[in-house]
Amino acid sequence: MIGEPTQCTVTQQAGDTILGAVRQVLMIAASGLLLAGCSSSSAASPSPTPTTSPAAQSNQGPSANLPAVDPSCGAEATSQSLNSNTPTSFTLTNHTSETLSLFWLNFQGQRVHYTDVDPGQSKDQKTFVTHPWVVADPGGNCIRLFLVTTPVTITIG
């Protein structure tokens, strides 16, 4: 339904390369191939809507290990926000056993801490389509770098 968030797990297609500049990333996003997000042309596969109820958490439980670093993290050093023209949003869901940190990359490409997401929890975040975000492990190491163009759920773990 239009306007509702897409539920997805982001996967990288074989042959994709991580681009070194935000302009290149934005060109990819504009063409429908996103670092994170789902659309009818995306390679990401749907996943069930995450739940944060205590009963569901005890049945599912977060995964024991943090995921491997996503190749998108290689673009962090050259990524920055460009403008605040087109609003969008995302939900970050943590299916790991560790607290994850969410950082916005500002207009100078510096991390700005926005929130922490505890194991088994989700956080909603408003943003803009040209704003990159970093999910980091407890040591501050990038797990995933992403942009969103439409409301989406980013699931880690």
Domains of the chain: 18-42+62-156 (2.60.40.780)
Q: What is the DSSP string of 50-114?
A: P---HHHHHHH---SSPPPPPGGGGGGGG-------SEEEEEEEE-SSS-EEEEEE-TTS-EEEE
Average model confidence (pLDDT) for the chain?
Answer: 72
The structure's pTM equals 0.64
Tens of pLDDT, residue by residue over 70-114, are: 999 999 999 999 999 999 999 999 999 999 999 999 999 999 999
Cα pseudo-dihedral 80, 132, 101, 113, rounded to 10? 50
- % residues pLDDT > 90 (the chain): 56
Regions of the chain where pLDDT drops below 70: 1-64
